[in-house]
Chain A
Amino acid sequence: MSLLTACSAAAGKTEQPSITVMVIPDNVLVGDRIRCIISISHSEKEVAALEWRDGIDTFSSRSFELISSKHLSSTLLPGSSQDKFELELAVFGAGHQPLPPVTVVLRDSKGLVTKKVVYSPPASVFVRALTDSSVRDLTPLKPPLKPQIPFLLIMPVILGAFGVAVVVLLLLFLLKRVVRKSAEKVDSSQVAQRKLRKLGSSLSAGMPPHECYEELSNIMRSFLENHYRIRALEAVTQEIERDLKKLGIAGFENIMNLLKQADLVKFADSRPDVEESRQSLHKASEVIRSTRHSRPPEE
């Protein structure tokens, strides 16, 4: 579709030039090109020229980019002539884009300016943008926030906190090591002997012998677990026997005899008397004493 816009800049005065603007097409996609024909009718003694108020770049700064221009002169009637400017423009932006104002300059044969008319063409071009029509607003990108406290000032604080954390961890590690060492210093055989003595006293105080055997079994298993580092508390007697054999513990038969006796009391409803229980406690004490100096296996 083409839109023809005709306008007389100065109606009624013959010496004023008559300007006509035609835009083809008037509805385009962004980036498309249009043809803009500006016809200026004036007296034949004059020559017309076009000037843009802010120079040719005005087109560029707005929504139009001048691609090429052509100038044709012709004589219409005796005494009048017409200058035709054919402009090829690239169109940008979106929506109705009015054509920029132009200045029509008329010069005589000597090149002197006789008239100068500023003309704003009433024509416009509708530009369809290649974006989603539902988008109404564009959110501008937020500029990056500048830290309120300079990084160099925070750095010492971070380093300080890190240093404190390292010191605390180091202290905890050392503390744990000291506690473990002190625990290791407590001889498992001494602990077992102390428990056996306590058990002997309980037996004298009237503890039932079958309960004594149960406790004796627990003491022996704890001792074996701590002294030989074998899993004795969750193991059955047969498994303990296998582990002790594997370690080559001298006199393990005595340990096994005690555990098997305790098993008889625990699982076979055997009812030992007090004297038998006392003898077993004595044997257990001797077994622990004999193994006291045997070295636990290397980890």
Chain B
Amino acid sequence: MQLAVELEELGTQIIEASSFLEHAEKELSLRIIGQRDVIRRVFIAMLVNGHILLEGVPGLAKTLIVSTFAAAMNLKFQRIQFTPDMLPADLVGTMIYNPKDLEFYPRKGPVFANVILADEINRSPAKVQSALLEAMQERQVTIGSQTFPLQEPFIVLATQNPIEHEGTYLLPEAQVDRFMMKVIVDYPSYDEELEIMLRSATNAIKVPVKPVVKPEDIFRARALIDRIYVDPRVQRYIVDLVVATRKPAQFGMPELETMIEYGASPRASIFLLLAAKAHAFLQHRPYITPEDVKAIVYDTLRHRIRPGYEAEADNMKPSDIIRLILQHVQVP
């Protein structure tokens, strides 16, 4: 059976245009062992202009993934360690007085880069978090009276530690919603850990990562992703999944009504569709199937669902709620 001519052509272009990701993946694998899913999610976010919140205990190579990714992508990388005494100006920049000219001139902050690693974002108070989240949303920064657009591609990868809450400022739901995905970084497998240990426990110089991608490759991929075909059945499936987080009884899950305090916002539908498109792109497919949606639904919805009191009492996490929803919403 043949695809429609335009989709056939798009498929060929996608295969061609996505080859840079394979090169990048190969470069990343020189330094990073395992964490394939996390790397794929970072690619997805980059391809559709999204941002990622990485959650994981320390020592799982979160920073290494991001720095290696930036190096392989030939993008300007900035790591910002969030601390309680940080100020918004430390992030976006400030006006500096020049005594020679008797004038103020703007000094750009570390946010002016392509890949930002906001390390331990929850260690800084809300005003610093909002300064970064504003830059993420608006893709521009205002210093004094001047507004500077941020350079594209611009991707923020924020990290937070799930086990240590003392001296942290929990990200408000409205701000977490701006992250396209919340990815849980898990421990490596036994074999992966063995390899990590053998490869890292050495005094030898680390393998250098070659920049294998040009920003143009990313822009071309983005243009192709926009053309990926989405059947109305899949569109409805995405909306069904999101609406089911708000009105589970409509989808035959009345028991979830009290389990969810509030469900996902319309931003979830937008990001779910975008991420599914990028996932299809990574699979070299010019169309989306429900498989693409299911593949990224946990990462896209988990931070947008707030479990209710009963769910917390039953130790039910957002992932458990999403699993139930997937079991009840019929696949087209």
Contact = CB atoms under 8 A, between A and B. Distances in A.
Contact of B291 (A233, A238, A276): A238
B331 A268 contact: no
A266 B231 contact: yes
A44 interface: no
Interface residues of B, number: 23
Nearest to A232: B331
Interface of A: 231, 233-239, 261, 263-272, 276
Interface string B286-304: 1111110010000000000
Given A268-B3, A268-B287, 9 more contacts: A237-B289, A265-B1, A267-B234, A267-B290, A268-B231, A268-B286, A269-B4, A270-B3, A272-B1
Interface in B168-204: none
Contact of B287 (A234, A269, A272): A269
B332 to A, nearest CB: 7
Contact of B2 (A236, A239, A263, A270): A270
Interface stretch (B71-79, B101-109, B254-262, B322-330): B322-330
B244 to A, nearest CB: 12
Contacts of B326: 234
B233 interface: yes
Interface string B114-148: 00000000000000000000000000000000000
A260 to B, nearest CB: 9
B20 interface: no
B219 interface: no
A263 B331 CA distance: 11
A236 B331 contact: yes
Contact of A267 (B2, B289, B329): B289
Nearest to B293: A236
Given A233-B331, A261-B1, A269 B291 contact: no
Contact of A268 (B7, B291, B294, B332): B7
A271 B4 contact: yes
Nearest to B326: A234
Contact of A266 (B3, B328, B332): B332
23 contacts: A231-B327, A233-B330, A234-B327, A234-B328, A234-B329, A235-B331, A236-B290, A236-B291, A236-B294, A237-B289, A238-B291, A264-B3, A265-B1, A267-B231, A267-B234, A267-B288, A267-B289, A268-B4, A268-B286, A269-B3, A269-B7, A270-B2, A270-B4
Contacts of A271: 4
Given A234-B329, A234-B331, A235-B331, A269 B231 contact: yes
A234 B329 CA distance: 7
Interface in B274-320: 286-291, 294
Interface of B: 1-4, 7, 229, 231, 233-234, 286-291, 294, 326-332
B1 A234 contact: no
Nearest to B231: A267
Contacts of B330: 233-234
Nearest to A280: B1
Contacts of A267: 229, 231, 233-234, 287-290, 332
A195 B287 CA distance: 29
Nearest to A264: B1
Contacts of B290: 236, 267
Top 10 A-B residue pairs of the complex, sorted by shortest distance between their CB atoms: A268-B287, A236-B291, A236-B290, A267-B231, A238-B291, A267-B289, A269-B4, A261-B1, A267-B287, A270-B3
B40 to A, nearest CB: 15
Contacts of B229: 267-269
Contacts of B287: 267-269
A269 B228 CA distance: 11
A267 B328 CA distance: 21
Contacts of B328: 234
B113 to A, nearest CB: 37
A266 B331 contact: no
Nearest to B327: A234
Contacts of A264: 1, 3
A293 B58 CA distance: 54
Contacts of B7: 268-269
Contacts of B288: 267
Contacts of B231: 266-269
B206 to A, nearest CB: 37
A263 B289 contact: yes
A263 B7 CA distance: 14
Contact of B289 (A236, A272, A276): A236
A266 B331 CA distance: 12
B109 to A, nearest CB: 44
B123 to A, nearest CB: 39
A238 B328 CA distance: 18
B224 to A, nearest CB: 16
B155 to A, nearest CB: 28
A276 B2 CA distance: 11
Contacts of A265: 1
A266 B1 contact: no
Max chain A C-beta neighbours (<10 A), residue from B7, B289, B294: B289
Contacts of B233: 266-267
Nearest to B6: A269
A237 B291 contact: yes
Max chain B C-beta neighbours (<10 A), residue from A237, A265, A267, A269: A267
